[in-house]
Structure 1
Amino acid sequence: MILEAYVNQEIKNNIATIEFFHPEQNSLPSDILKKLANTITEVGNNNDVKVIILKSGGDRTFCAGASFQELISIDNAETGKLFFSGFANVINAMRKCPKFIIGRIQGKTVGGGVGIAASTDYCMATKFASIKLSELNVGIGPFVVSPAIERKMGVSAMSQIAIDANNFYDANWAREKGLFANVYESIEILDKEVQKFAEHLCTYNQEAMLEMKKVFWRGTDDWDNLLAERAAISGRLVLSDFTKEKLKSYS
């Protein structure tokens, strides 16, 4: 059976669940990134929605980051900037979304996936949700996602995993550094707790949550421009001989 990539949404009892999936370990090509950003914006503007749960399909990997197949195909700086802007658009959609977004992180998370997790307003994970920023390994760098990771975890933790690009850091480390609020023993427990927490948030004053979200994201008004500039850097570096050879070795 061939599994196809998707972005789905479901709204039930004022809780919107957005789920993305890609058969290659939930990696994110540009079309899925675009759908994800648009879905977050659409659901955020839905008056029937009070809180959003963001999750991915499958039970092993939350997100493997950028699609390697698409990275290999990039042949000019503008195309590269457009691809990396996909991650920027998702992060900015989450930043501007007027509803709290709960991240449900069931497994390993790499690169852009760490940036997406860091852009949620409250993130819950299993003990299997280790994280890695592998970009320097392939000659690029986590330029687009690092502002979101730095905002959530601090410069020290962000720089540590960015430099140590070959190793995963476990979920408890990520919790200690502020990425995850809670870490659970299994996906079943995680899902139960995420649902219970989302239902509880629905009892809060919607206006108060909106004002708190503005407070949480204070100082990020320049991110439309900042992340576009970072996407341009990545788009240029992905064309380097070093990166091209690295990507071929992984394909």
Structure 2
Amino acid sequence: MTQPYVTITEENGIGTIEFFHPAHNSLPGDILAKLAETITEAGKNDAIKVIILKSGKDRTFCAGASFKELININDAETGKVFFSGFANVINAMRTCPKFIIGRVQGKTVGGGVGLASATDYCMATKYAAIKLSELNVGIGPFVVGPAVERKIGLSAMTQIAIDANTFYSAEWARDKGLYTHVYEDIEALDTAVNEFAAHLCTYNPEAMRDMKAAFWEGTEHWDTLLAERAVISGRLVLSEFTKETLKRFK
């Protein structure tokens, strides 16, 4: 399959949400909207006790924002709407009453690091290096920053946000708290993710719901915060510097 998609399957209490885009699993606005909707609906589905979030194919987990859409943003409102797509997905993950397990099989960039950070428990392969590349194109990880900082701390987030041209290894991300485990290959990763999800399904759903709410205490203002951050990114994407930089991707 080469067309972009977001799918969800449910089996034995596990809801598996998978997103895909042929451009290294980048995330255009329509995929972001569908992803946020799917996560929200999975949270309401009583048959689902735990959620696995994954991307399609076996290479890049997520390349972040769609450069094709970034290039075509010509006004602040369009920019705000686009970056609000990432905000909506992160907020959907934050408010979802089910634990979300991240399954990161390969490199993840920009908004993809935000998605991994917004999961409740994230596992990866040794190939799952991370990079916050936004400063490279003249923007900055404003929308995903709160989720990344919450997961790995301000110091580590500052390091990768400023050093925007470097991939940091999966082992580095594990040591900073983004990943809980790093595996040799996708087969080992999938075995571990599936076994862990199945084990979580044996727990009290009410207890897991209350634990999730407790873990995310202090983020209740993120609906407003991430919307404000989307405005900043929407403004910066119109800057002369960013426009000239994005032309390289045409």
Q: Same fold (TM over 0.5)?
A: yes
Per the alignment, residue 85 of structure 1 pairs with 84
Q: Distance in 2 between matches of 1:11 and 1:248?
A: 42
State the 1:249 CA deviation: 1.0
Q: Distance in 1 between matches of 2:188 and 2:228?
A: 40
Per the alignment, residue 199 of structure 2 pairs with 200
Per the alignment, residue 46 of structure 1 pairs with 45
Amino acid at match of 1:45: K
Matched, 1:113 2:112: yes
Amino acid at match of 2:19: F
Amino acid at match of 1:71: L
Q: Distance in 2 between matches of 1:191 and 1:12?
A: 15
- RMSD, aligned CA: 0.6
Alignment of 1:228-247 (within 5 A): 228-247=227-246
Per the alignment, residue 224 of structure 2 pairs with 225
Q: Distance in 1 between matches of 2:178 and 2:62?
A: 15
How many correspondences in the alignment?
A: 250
Q: Distance in 2 between matches of 1:39 and 1:174?
A: 27
Q: Distance in 1 between matches of 2:28 and 2:205?
A: 34
SS in 1 for 2:164: coil
Per the alignment, residue 141 of structure 2 pairs with 142
Amino acid at match of 1:156: S
Matched, 1:25 2:20: no
State the 1:18 CA deviation: 0.2
State the 1:8 CA deviation: 0.4
SS in 2 for 1:40: helix
SS in 1 for 2:15: strand
What do the CA deviations read for 1:56-80 (whole angstroms, capped 9, x no partner)? Answer: 0011100000000000000000000
Q: Distance in 1 between matches of 2:166 and 2:46?
A: 42
Q: Distance in 1 between matches of 2:137 and 2:75?
A: 17
Q: Distance in 2 between matches of 1:222 and 1:104?
A: 27
Per the alignment, residue 104 of structure 1 pairs with 103
State the 1:250 CA deviation: 2.5
SS in 2 for 1:62: coil
State the 1:88 CA deviation: 0.1
Amino-acid identity (%): 73
Per the alignment, residue 35 of structure 1 pairs with 34
SS in 2 for 1:140: coil
SS in 2 for 1:128: coil
What do the CA deviations read for 1:202-235 (whole angstroms, capped 9, x no partner)? Answer: 0111111011101110100000000000000000
Q: Distance in 1 between matches of 2:179 and 2:115?
A: 12
Runs of 4+ in 1 over 2 A off after TM superposition: none
Q: Distance in 1 between matches of 2:2 and 2:197?
A: 29
SS in 1 for 2:195: helix
SS in 2 for 1:8: strand
What do the CA deviations read for 1:69-126 (whole angstroms, capped 9, x no partner)? Answer: 0000000000000000000000000000000000000000000000000000000000
Matched, 1:65 2:59: no
SS in 1 for 2:16: strand
SS in 1 for 2:68: helix
Matched, 1:162 2:161: yes
- TM-score by structure 2 length? 0.99
Q: Distance in 2 between matches of 1:114 and 1:130?
A: 10
- Provide structure 1 residue ranges, at least 5 long, that are not aligned to the other structure: none
Amino acid at match of 1:50: K
Per the alignment, residue 188 of structure 1 pairs with 187
Q: Distance in 1 between matches of 2:239 and 2:98?
A: 40
Q: Distance in 1 between matches of 2:245 and 2:181?
A: 35
Q: Distance in 2 between matches of 1:249 and 1:73?
A: 13
Q: Distance in 2 between matches of 1:49 and 1:10?
A: 10
Matched, 1:13 2:12: yes
